[in-house]
Structure 1
């Protein structure tokens, strides 16, 4: 009897030890790339991962830092990643130029574009026209650089006069601060705060947003392939649900989101990254439109206008409908997209 009792206890113990691994085997592995380094705007995505929102949906997500929105569609289309987040416009350009690529977005995160040209007062660049003949430093994968022709077209400037210096993401802001470039392109949440982080006073920073000249693009979006989405529709819906929950969590408690970020990046400048996160939430994510209607209420006329602006900027004759790049059929119920 003692032997049977011991075997029973051993069996129960073994079951308790193996149950998590069996459960883990049932999770779907998803390789997820961010658009940039682990900074304030990326804190909400990391929060969704670390709070277990994806695991609740049956997903084992590995999330890596990114190197620019222009790099995201390249990596996903190559199969290096299943899903990612990045400015949607480089993906639009890729789809226009390579119709065989099956990338699309099932969820738009940012309702407003973060793209901008940034310079310093000492450069005497006060309007887009003043950029003509100047040197702009930027990574080749930067969405602002890739979409600069659309900015130039909207602003009425001659983009052919602009000289470009290709730099790594880490050198972009230092190049401007050191006077080795006249301006940079990028997200306002990256450029402005990174300049502040290396000692540039905020009043000395001049920012020209793409939206200020009429290039009012949709921005950071979830990107994947139709092949992956059709094979794993519940996974796409689960990812969206988790991302939405984490965006609302970050809005309610930015300090907690940054504290979670700091656990991954111990050298995080809490004050700077909190300000960066707040800007992304208040100016780009939770616009008045999203606050009224919740996520997922995309203006397809505006999206089509953005597609046509990209086409015109790059001289692409092939048309593309908004429905080819954005498919809301994977969204969770409306109740999960709006704060109660």
Structure 2
């Protein structure tokens, strides 16, 4: 008989003990990880790259987090799923969050914790051949957008900032799948949509920038913020280290995305092998150029808000959306979980 007692699997019992101890330690490590279900606002597209990178490169895991990133169907859906507890965190339009909080004053607290889009991506796309070269030229023209579109809903803010009355244009509420087609066919003079979505959709239908006058809302006096990472107050208060760790990991991945957007698209492709890589790379770069890499974000660090600007934006949204109340800034956003300012100075030198 062997000098070593054997287990049924043929391993010495001493080795079995070591393996069991290792398995127990591994199980304990897994048990110590905080699970976060994260809801995106839309499909797996270029701008989702830093979230997916942070998962695949293990940045979340290094923070003791087990993160599941799911595609979404709009900001309202992401906010509602976080509010319901189905997801711990999400990505959604801060203006939609203002609306949710105003309409649910006694509901679950949801806050933005890291602003990714320093400006709203909303823009007007107008046909040059209709004589539209500036915002003033929109008077008397026809515009189309879905009823939920930020550009449509915030039109009053854009109009006031550019010397127009809200009713100076004729609006058509249309299905989102028809919006760009109507402009290409000439059925309307202009549309509103997200800059990095409608532009690519129009180009795909044969209408390039040379045929368009593009009026991004942030460049035309609209101070609204765009999308932010959101979480429920109850989850954040119970798991502050987890929220801080999530933001550190995301901040790290965003810095690498800004440095190499072409490489970052690989992580989107890994989640959806059917994406058009060239298109999603361009979408990501357009998002970076238009609403992420802004003068404010460069000056103050990505992720944070200017409180005076936020208060003004909340009031503007409350007025434009005809909300029943005006949520306080601290209900909409908190900076308590953000990485330090120096860690958020992540933009490559201009010209790189």
In structure 1, C-alpha distance between the alignment counterparts of 2:223 and 2:92, rounded to whole Å? 16
Using the TM superposition, give the Cα deviation of residue 159 of structure 1 relative to its aligned residue in structure 2, in angstroms.
Answer: 4.3
- The partner residue of 2:128 within 121, 128, 131 is 121
Using the TM superposition, give the Cα deviation of residue 312 of structure 1 relative to its aligned residue in structure 2, in angstroms.
Answer: 2.0
Q: TM-score, normalised by structure 2?
A: 0.84
In structure 2, C-alpha distance between the alignment counterparts of 1:241 and 1:88, rounded to whole Å? 20
1:209-249, CA deviations, whole angstroms, 9 ceiling, x for partnerless residues? 22233112111111122112111111111111111111100
- The partner residue of 1:208 within 195, 212, 215 is 215
In structure 1, C-alpha distance between the alignment counterparts of 2:344 and 2:26, rounded to whole Å? 31
- Give yes or no for contact 1:128–1:157 (8 Å, CA) kept in 2: no
In structure 2, C-alpha distance between the alignment counterparts of 1:320 and 1:137, rounded to whole Å? 27
1:144-167, CA deviations, whole angstroms, 9 ceiling, x for partnerless residues? 333334334434233496433342
Using the TM superposition, give the Cα deviation of residue 122 of structure 1 relative to its aligned residue in structure 2, in angstroms.
Answer: 4.8
Using the TM superposition, give the Cα deviation of residue 31 of structure 1 relative to its aligned residue in structure 2, in angstroms.
Answer: 1.6
Q: TM-score, normalised by structure 1?
A: 0.87
Structural mapping, 1:1-340, within 5 Å:
1-3=3-5, 6-16=12-22, 20-101=26-107, 102-122=109-129, 125-128=132-135, 130=138, 132=140, 134-138=142-146, 140-155=147-162, 156-159=164-167, 162-168=170-176, 170-179=177-186, 182-316=189-323, 318-339=325-346
Q: Which runs of 5+ in 2 are unaligned?
A: 348-352
Which one is further off, 27-36 or 118-127? Answer: 118-127
In structure 1, C-alpha distance between the alignment counterparts of 2:309 and 2:64, rounded to whole Å? 34
Using the TM superposition, give the Cα deviation of residue 126 of structure 1 relative to its aligned residue in structure 2, in angstroms.
Answer: 4.4
Number of aligned pairs?
Answer: 338
1:59-92, CA deviations, whole angstroms, 9 ceiling, x for partnerless residues? 2211112222333323322333221112211111
| Structure 2 SS opposite 1:2 | coil
In structure 1, C-alpha distance between the alignment counterparts of 2:181 and 2:50, rounded to whole Å? 27
| Structure 2 SS opposite 1:324 | helix
In structure 2, C-alpha distance between the alignment counterparts of 1:246 and 1:111, rounded to whole Å? 17
- Give yes or no for contact 1:68–1:142 (8 Å, CA) kept in 2: no
Q: Which runs of 5+ in 1 are unaligned?
A: none
- Give yes or no for contact 2:156–2:165 (8 Å, CA) kept in 1: no
Q: 1:128 to 1:73 in 2, by over 3 A?
A: farther
Which one is further off, 51-60 or 289-298? Answer: 289-298
Q: 1:120 to 1:68 in 2, by over 3 A?
A: farther
1:5-25, CA deviations, whole angstroms, 9 ceiling, x for partnerless residues? 612223334455565454333
In structure 2, C-alpha distance between the alignment counterparts of 1:33 and 1:252, rounded to whole Å? 25
Q: 1:50 to 1:124 in 2, by over 3 A?
A: farther
| Structure 1 SS opposite 2:118 | coil
| Structure 1 SS opposite 2:12 | helix
| Structure 1 SS opposite 2:192 | strand
Larger Rg: 2
In structure 2, C-alpha distance between the alignment counterparts of 1:72 and 1:153, rounded to whole Å? 30
